[in-house]
Structures are given as structure tokens and as C-alpha cells.
């Protein structure tokens, strides 16, 4: 990963767009408070893994949108 | 609240005057999300009917500082957050608990025509059910994982693209090359063929050769279009050994029967 700050923004925006701003806040806080990542990793990556594990239907959309946002922010 | 506190505005001399916005207020009173308006000095100037009903705001709270109003005093770092919103002009969010209810508080700057922030609008979205449902999903998935991990036979769930969705501990401990099964799995997903159990001999480091019977069955859930496959791995080495042992015993028994038969006929021929 080239730019973790950019990834954080991309994942956060993708989750907000997918689930809604208030819902995204709840999902992120609940998942990250209970998910134990296998090793230390950036918050956004842990969030993606937790989504994959607990809310796979949401994870697919967020992952796809994150990828697009991350790529688009690189080009901008 | 049109008939209650109304949308009030604090003048520079400290007096309050109602601003005639009855239509807008009537509309806002139909919204079932609590809405509260603060002046930049954190003084309450307006709230809608839902705020009165859900968060127990009273008409007498109008004109009071947020820190003197029980509900607003319970929002963590509200004044700090409002100050940041005023300075940046960008909205913010905070978590807030009121008894058994959880809210996400949206702190939004309301700007005048000149772009200056004239007031802060707070909305309280009830997320109690959402929080509970996420916690329940996590709990149930953890329970399922614990149950699967307690099964000694390897189990794995594949997605429609044949990627591993999840597996139990025994599966991860007993890694197996699945390439040979792809055609069968694909046919099963397409619905053209049922999966026939496959026996695979595999040498595991430290454990020697094992014979695994691999079976698969489609998983479908009502209301979900996604298709998955449950793949089961059964170690049948002992069963195969027992079968082989039985085969040897059967051969030995048959040989013994033939030998007796030959001896009988031999004796019969001699006596004749």
C-alpha cells in the first residue's frame, strides 16, 4: 500500500456511501471494538477484514468502492 | 414546536423574539428525528417536537446554556465539537447514550448569507437497533465459528467463485490442494451435476499418508441469491485400512474353503 492516509479516507468514504453516514459510524465503532486483527495493521485494513468476516455483503461493496476512490484520489 | 417554544432568536440585548416560520416549523415537527438548534454561544434556541418527546426537552430550556441542559450535557465534548464545527464550517458527529438508547449526534453548521456560522443544528439519530443488530451478527458468527472449530473433520465454505469464504481450524491445519475438484464444484454450482465424493491420498508432513473423502453440497439461504458450497473432509484412512484388512481376511477364508474342498474331493477320489 502506497499511502495509508489516502486508504483510510477511501475506506471511510466508501463505508459512508454504502451504509449511510450515521450507520457507518456505528458499524465502524462496533466492528473495531470487538474485532481482534491477527496482527497490528492500519485501522482501515482492520475494518475491511472485520467487514469481510462479519458483514460480507457490505464488505464487497465497500471494498469495490474503496478501490475506486483510492485510485481516483491518486489520479487527482 | 410551533405552539411551544417556537423558533426563537436571541437578540443582542438578550431578549428573544419569535421569528415567523410557522410553515417550516410545522414541517420540522413532523420529522421524527430530534432536531435542536444552538447559537454559537451554546445557548438553546429551538427544538422540534421529536426532541421534546424523545429527549425530554422542555420549553423552559430555551435560552439556557447547553451545559445546563441534562441531555446536552451528556453529549461528550459537545462544546468542543461545536467550536470546531464553527471554526471549520464542516459537520461532525458524536456518539451519545441516553439510558438504553444510543444516538449518533450530527453537529451541523448553519450559515448565514455571508457564510458566517450563525447557529449549530444538532440531529439525534437513534441507532440502538442498528448497534444491537451488529452486535448480534458478530455474536452469532463467533458462535458459529466456535462450533465449526470444535468439529474435528475439516470443513470449508466456498463462494460461487470457488474462493474460500471460511473454514474451520481442522481445515486450515490440514491444507489440501483443491484444484482437482474445480470441475466438479463448478458443475454442482451450475446445477448440472450433484457432487460425487472424491477420495484423495495426500501426504501430510509429520503425519504420513492420509486418505480423505471430500464431499460438497450447495448452501442456499432463503432471500439470498448468493450461492456457496460447504465442503467436508473426512479422514477415512482407518476405514480404508479396516476394509483392506477385511478383504485380506475374506481372501484367507476363501482360500481355506478351497483347500478343504480340494482335500475333500481328493479323499473322495482316493476312496473310490
Tell me what pLDDT residue A42 has: 87
Contacts of B93 in chain A (CB under 8 A): 21-22, 25
Task: List residues of B whose CB lies inside 8 A of any A CB.
Answer: 93, 95, 102, 104, 106, 125, 127, 130-131, 134-135, 137-138, 141, 165, 226
Q: Which chain A residue has its CA at the smallest distance from B137's CA? A: A54
Tell me what pLDDT residue B179 has: 56
Q: Which residue has the higher pLDDT, B25 or A76?
A: B25
- Both B102 and B58 in one domain: the answer is yes
Q: Judge whether B136 lies within some domain.
A: no
Q: Which one of A26, A54, A55 has the shortest CB-CB distance to B127? A: A26
Contacts of B164 in chain A (CB under 8 A): none
Total count of domains within chain B: 3
Q: Which one of A22, A23, A54 has the shortest CB-CB distance to B137? A: A54
- Both B107 and B195 in one domain: the answer is no
Q: What is the CATH number of the domain that holds B99?
A: 3.30.450.20
Q: Judge whether B134 lies within some domain.
A: no
- Both B19 and B114 in one domain: the answer is yes
Q: Judge whether B229 lies within some domain.
A: yes
Domain final residue pick, B91, B126, B161: B126
- Both B106 and B35 in one domain: the answer is yes
Residue B13, CA distances (Å) to B62, B111, B117 in order:
16, 22, 20
Q: Judge whether B21 lies within some domain.
A: yes
CA distance A54 to chain B (A): 6
CA distance B242 to B244: 5
Mean predicted confidence (pLDDT) in A18-30 = 94
Q: Judge whether B45 lies within some domain.
A: yes
Answer whether 0.80 is exceeded by the pTM: no
Tell me what pLDDT residue B49 has: 95
Contacts of B137 in chain A (CB under 8 A): 54-55
Q: Judge whether B159 lies within some domain.
A: yes
- Both B29 and B120 in one domain: the answer is yes
CA distance A51 to chain B (A): 10
- Both B115 and B175 in one domain: the answer is no
Q: Judge whether B141 lies within some domain.
A: no
Residue A7 has which C-alpha cell? 486508504
Domain that holds residue B211: 151-235
- Both B100 and B196 in one domain: the answer is no
Would you say residue A68 has pLDDT above 90?
yes
Q: Judge whether B36 lies within some domain.
A: yes
In sequence order, what are the residues at sequence separation of 6 or more whose Cβ sits closer than 8 angstroms to the Cβ of residue B169?
A: B148, B149
- Both B156 and B56 in one domain: the answer is no
Half-sphere exposure of B139 (CA within 13 A, CB side): 6
In sequence order, what are the residues at sequence separation of 6 or more whose Cβ sits closer than 8 angstroms to the Cβ of residue B159?
A: B165, B226, B227, B228
CA distance B110 to B120: 6
Would you say residue A59 has pLDDT above 80?
yes
CA distance A43 to B245: 57
Mean predicted confidence (pLDDT) in A48-55 = 90
Q: Which one of B134, B141, B165 has the shortest CB-CB distance to A30? A: B134
- Both B25 and B111 in one domain: the answer is yes
In DSSP terms, which residues pair with B102 in a beta bridge? B97
Residue B7 has which C-alpha cell? 423558533
Tell me what pLDDT residue B3 has: 39
- Both B229 and B268 in one domain: the answer is no
Would you say residue A15 has pLDDT above 90?
yes
Contacts of B130 in chain A (CB under 8 A): 23, 26-27
- Both B14 and B38 in one domain: the answer is yes
- Both B70 and B108 in one domain: the answer is yes
Q: Mean pLDDT in runs of 10 for chain B (272 residues)?
A: 45 51 83 92 93 94 94 93 91 93 95 85 95 92 89 82 81 64 71 75 74 82 77 81 78 80 72 60
Amino acid at each position: 500500500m502506497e499511502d495509508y492516509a489516502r486508504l483510510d479516507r477511501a475506506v471511510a468514504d466508501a463505508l459512508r456511501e454504502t451504509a449511510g453516514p450515521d450507520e457507518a459510524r456505528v458499524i465502524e465503532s462496533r466492528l473495531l471494538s470487538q474485532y481482534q486483527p491477527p496482527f497490528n495493521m492500519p485501522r482501515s485494513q482492520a475494518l475491511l477484514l472485520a467487514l469481510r468476516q462479519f458483514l460480507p455483503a457490505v464488505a464487497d461493496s465497500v471494498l469495490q468502492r474503496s478501490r475506486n476512490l483510492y485510485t481516483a484520489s491518486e489520479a487527482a | 414546536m410551533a405552539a411551544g417554544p417556537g423558533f426563537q432568536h436571541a437578540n443582542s440585548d438578550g431578549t428573544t423574539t419569535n421569528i415567523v416560520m410557522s410553515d417550516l416549523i410545522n414541517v420540522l415537527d413532523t420529522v421524527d428525528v430530534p432536531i435542536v438548534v444552538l447559537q454559537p454561544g451554546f445557548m438553546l434556541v429551538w427544538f422540534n417536537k421529536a426532541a421534546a418527546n424523545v429527549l425530554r426537552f422542555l420549553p423552559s430550556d430555551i435560552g439556557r446554556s447547553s451545559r445546563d441542559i441534562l441531555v446536552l450535557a451528556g453529549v461528550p465534548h459537545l462544546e468542543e465539537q461545536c467550536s470546531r464545527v464553527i471554526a471549520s464550517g464542516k459537520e461532525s458527529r458524536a456518539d451519545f447514550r441516553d439510558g438504553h438508547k444510543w444516538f449518533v449526534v450530527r453537529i451541523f453548521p448553519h450559515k448565514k448569507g455571508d457564510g458566517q456560522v450563525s447557529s449549530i443544528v444538532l440531529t439525534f439519530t437513534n441507532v440502538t437497533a442498528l448497534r444491537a443488530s451488529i452486535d448480534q451478527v458478530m455474536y452469532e458468527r463467533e458462535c458459529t465459528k466456535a462450533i465449526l472449530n470444535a468439529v474435528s473433520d475439516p470443513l470449508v465454505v466456498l463462494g460461487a467463485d470457488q474462493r474460500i469464504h471460511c473454514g474451520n481450524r481442522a481445515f486450515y491445519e490440514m491444507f489440501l490442494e483443491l484444484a482437482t475438484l474445480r470441475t466438479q464444484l463448478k458443475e454442482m454450482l451450475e446445477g448440472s451435476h450433484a457432487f460425487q465424493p472424491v477420495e484423495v491420498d495426500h501426504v501430510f508432513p509429520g503425519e504420513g499418508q492420509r486418505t480423505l473423502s471430500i464431499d460438497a453440497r450447495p448452501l442456499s439461504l432463503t432471500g439470498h441469491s448468493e450461492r456457496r458450497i460447504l465442503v467436508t473432509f473426512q479422514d477415512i484412512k482407518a476405514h480404508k485400512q479396516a476394509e483392506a484388512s477385511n478383504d485380506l481376511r475374506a481372501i484367507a477364508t476363501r482360500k481355506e474353503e478351497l483347500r478343504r474342498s480340494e482335500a475333500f474331493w481328493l479323499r473322495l477320489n482316493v476312496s473310490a
